[in-house]
Amino acid sequence: MSRPADGLPSQPPETRVRFLHPGDVALAQRGERLDTLLGSCVAVLLSDPHRTVGAMCHIVHTSARRPPDPRDTRYGTAAMRALFAELRAVGFAPEHCQAWLCGGGNMFPDQLNPYPVGDNNLDWVNDYLADVGIEVLAESVGGPYYRRVSWTIGQDAPDIEVIPVADNPL
């Protein structure tokens, strides 16, 4: 460890952490961290194969009763467009990135719903990524679970804590 002029050990720089709320889209560089908490929402995490940059979006809805504002990143199409724009702005082609998917939980497992919101969100995201040719490396999705996601760019995979709905983290 190097020592500054005062002779005390230097401290590593503090990690920059960005917490994504529903509808947020964020880009981070190697060593920075992106965090979020998911229920039926889905987080799409994209990174170049060398893990020098990463981006995440927190999708709340994949469809709407009426057309949403095309810039409202709570909705799938707008969120993915914004995510791709963030990557392109720093010189990365989203189509060459790799993905992780998280979330899509069933927040009301006691209700008899043949097609929960989380399942609908996951199906939409999987179809979208397949249509643009993005490889999904891994996923932690579905079931009666919340997910707490913490991803330090540069690591191979995000850290995902799976929490049963009965143990509500909110």
Is the residue at 4 inside a domain? no
pLDDT attached to residue 36: 98
Q: How far is CA 94 from the centre of its chain?
A: 14
- Is 94 in contact with 128 (CB distance < 8 Å)? no
C-alpha span between 74 and 114 (Å, rounded): 24
Most confident range (mean pLDDT) of 21-30, 56-65, 66-75, 150-159 is: 21-30
> What number of H helices and E strands is found in the chain?
2, 9
The count of other CB atoms within 10 Å of the CB of residue 89 is: 9
Q: What element of type H or E holds 19?
A: strand 17-20
Is the residue at 102 inside a domain? yes
pLDDT higher at 156 or 13: 156
Is the residue at 65 inside a domain? yes
Mean pLDDT taken over the chain: 89
Token pair 């995979």 is found at 157
C-alpha span between 74 and 72 (Å, rounded): 5
CA nearest 100: which of 46, 32, 35, 154?
46
Indicate if the pLDDT at residue 33 is higher than 90.
yes
Task: Indicate the number of domains in the chain.
Answer: 1
Is the residue at 124 inside a domain? yes
> By three-state DSSP, how is residue 114 classified?
coil
Range of the domain at 161: 17-167
Q: Residues 81, 87, 88, 90: what is their CA dihedral angle, to the nearest 10 degrees?
A: 150
Is the residue at 104 inside a domain? yes
pLDDT higher at 23 or 11: 23
> What is the band of 1 on the pLDDT scale with cuts at 50, 70, 90?
very low
Is the residue at 149 inside a domain? yes
pLDDT attached to residue 2: 46
Q: Is the pTM of this model over 0.85?
A: yes
CATH value at residue 64: 3.30.1330.200
Is the residue at 6 inside a domain? no
pLDDT per position as a tens digit, 34-79: 999 999 999 999 999 999 999 999 999 987 767 778 889 999 999 9
pLDDT per position as a tens digit, 71-99: 899 999 999 999 999 999 999 999 999 99
Is the residue at 7 inside a domain? no
- Is 107 in contact with 118 (CB distance < 8 Å)? yes
